[in-house]
Each structure stands twice: as C-alpha cells, then as structure tokens.
Structure 1
C-alpha cells in the first residue's frame, strides 16, 4: 500500500534521512523512429542476463554513487538474483568498441502490459558523448518490440528524481516520455549508514543528525 498523500506545506524529515521529489513519466505509444546517428557505431549493447551479482553491483555503484543509487545495494542477494533471473526482466550493458563498460540498462516487463525503464545510467566518462542518446533509443526500441505473452506493451514508463543528473528530466522528455505524477521518497541517507562514501552526491548536502 502506498503512503498517505502529503499535506500541503512543509513536512519535516527525520534526522539522518533524505527526501527527494520523484517525477514519473510515461509513453503510451512508440515514438517515431529516430534516424541513425553516425556516433551509434561507437557503441555496442550487450545482453547481460545472468550477470554475476558482484559484477552487477560493481557497475551499479560505478554509475549510481554520484546519484545516490542504493536500492540494489541493500537488497538481499536472493531477491536480487531472482529479479535478474526473471525471464520478464531484460538486462544489458553498454560497451564501447574497445570493450569498456559504459552503462547499464534494465527493462522490467513484470507488470502486465507495461515496461518499466527500471535502471538506466552511464559511467561518468561516458556522459555527454552520445551514449545516453544511443542507450535510450535502444531501450525504447526494445521495450516496444518485446513480445509479452503474444502482445505488445501498452505503456513504457520511467521515474527520475531530484538526486539525478540535472539534465535527466529534459533528457527523458526529449526521448518521448511525458510527466504524469509526482511522488516524494524518504529514506535513510546511505552516506550516513556507510553504504556509500560520505563524499558521494556533492550536490546534496550531508546533514549530520544531532
């Protein structure tokens, strides 16, 4: 069950916790196919289903530390392994032609008629070099092409938040997603619990509980 709707006005957060505003976006039909870009030849999308948990979490950290990704770091091994092994979850790594790992793509088809762009991210060195454009194009193509019980999905959705890259919302809108809802997420600060380095996400102040 979701939490109650927040009242209007300021809502305090417990010491040691952080809060961020989440924007949910969706597309309800495949967008027009984008023309091929010369830079696309620089990238390779590798099917990564069956990934080793340690390798998966290493890439998750490499991409997500600056944006406070923590959910898959605290998840029990058995639960994470079950998600990644589910035939309705597609997992990919983005590579360059030299074999360097640049990004992560996870598509979740477990909800009937839907695909969630569950995880999408790049290592810092790949940001701003066309890798994101290529990866979201491939994600969109794969989501709408997937045959789920003999049917195409009806909805492709994603959420981003105020912890994310400052261009993330505009990036998803340019890719064809439309905002439809806001939520607020409150969690223990993973930098205070020791899950992530204390200097992670410098754009978000670290507030020591008194």
Structure 2
C-alpha cells in the first residue's frame, strides 16, 4: 500500500463558514549568510527574557501578531506554553524602545538538527527604516553562534505580504509549500472580531 500523499486537486475548494485557509511557505538555510548592514537603530534594545511571564508574553504576542491572525500561542494551555518558554533551548527576546516592548524574536533550539525561527515580528510603529533587518541580523548571529545544522522558518499568506521576500533577502531559501485550514480565531476564539480587517470574517 502506497504511503504517498494524494495531491490536492486543481480548482476551487469551498470552506465552511468560520474556517480560514492559508498557503504556507517553508524556508531554510544551512549556514550564516553574509551580513546585511542595517541602519543605526537609536534607542532600540534587544532584551532576553528567561522564563517570561505568560501574561506579558501573550500581550506582546497579540500586539505583534493580531493583525496577521497569529493565534497558536493564544489557544495554548498555560502549562504547555510555560514548558516551552522556560526551556533552556528556547530563547525569547523583545525589541524595546523607550521602555516599551515592541518586537518579538523567539528562537527554538530544542532540535539542533532543525533549529526554528519560531516567531519574528515588530509593532507597526517599527515597520520600515531597517528595524526588521536589524532584528534579523541579531537573530542570525544568535542562531549560528550555536553549532546548528539547519535554520528554518515558515510563513503564510495570512502574514504580511512582505514576509516571504524579506526572508529570502535575509538568506532563507524556499523549499516547500502546504495548505493550512484552520478555525477563524475571531469566531468565538482568542482574537477580537476586529482583528485583521483585511481578511473578512465569513
């Protein structure tokens, strides 16, 4: 009996009410690319948070990701989320400006064969001006400071339309795609009905 997955047939596939679908792009790199100099970022700090408070973490996660329907960590039970965040092989950083946390970087080293850029995002106030490049250079430095074999990330069509191009310019290479179908997190879920107005609720 074949174990090959049946390909999704061409054509439109209707979704029930309350469901979303996204095209996920998988990207990877196997060595540190040449640095991409970023403009100076006066007043910005990258702060490591060991065993971060769950309320603080979820608030920052929501601030960064709500417009792009980040929801996985909002559904996660406290004990499961805490187990991830306190793991010594998971590194959580915030981008802080004037005492306010406005960016999130999370690196997951739990599988050294497949190290993940788990979360990477900035508040709208920091978009543009090279802050994303500045943060990515920090991420690459920290990832390849360990003897990792592969650094990977995935993004989807619910995320910023600039995301795939940014990751490619940063040195990641696309290697696969998938379709993800999920409950709309704004329909009796953890996100408000007004989140991501660019994606209509149906």
Same fold, TM exceeding 0.5?
Answer: yes
Give the TM-score normalised by structure 1.
Answer: 0.89
Aligned counterparts of 2:19 and 2:95: Cα–Cα separation in 1: 33
Segment of structure 1 superposing worse, 104-113 or 48-57: 104-113
Following superposition, the deviation at residue 16 of structure 1 comes to 1.0
Give the TM-score normalised by structure 2.
Answer: 0.92
Segment of structure 1 superposing worse, 109-118 or 165-174: 109-118
CA contact (8 A) 2:19 2:182 kept: yes
Aligned counterparts of 2:12 and 2:25: Cα–Cα separation in 1: 19
Aligned counterparts of 1:205 and 1:13: Cα–Cα separation in 2: 13
1:149 is aligned to: none
1:80 is aligned to: 81
Aligned counterparts of 2:79 and 2:140: Cα–Cα separation in 1: 29
Aligned counterparts of 2:115 and 2:28: Cα–Cα separation in 1: 10
Aligned residues: 198
1:157 paired with 2:152, answer yes
2:48 is aligned to: 47
Following superposition, the deviation at residue 100 of structure 1 comes to 2.1
Aligned counterparts of 1:5 and 1:144: Cα–Cα separation in 2: 36
Match of 2:25 among 23, 29, 32: 23
Query: Which string of whole-angstrom CA distances, capped at 9 and with x for unpartnered residues, describes residues 42-84 of structure 1?
Result: 4211001211000000001111110001100000000000000
2:16 is aligned to: 14
1:138 is aligned to: 138
Aligned counterparts of 1:38 and 1:121: Cα–Cα separation in 2: 18
- Alignment gaps of 5+ in structure 2: none
Q: What secondary structure, in the 3-state scheme, does the structure 2 residue paired with 1:56 have? A: helix
CA contact (8 A) 2:71 2:190 kept: yes
- Alignment gaps of 5+ in structure 1: 147-151
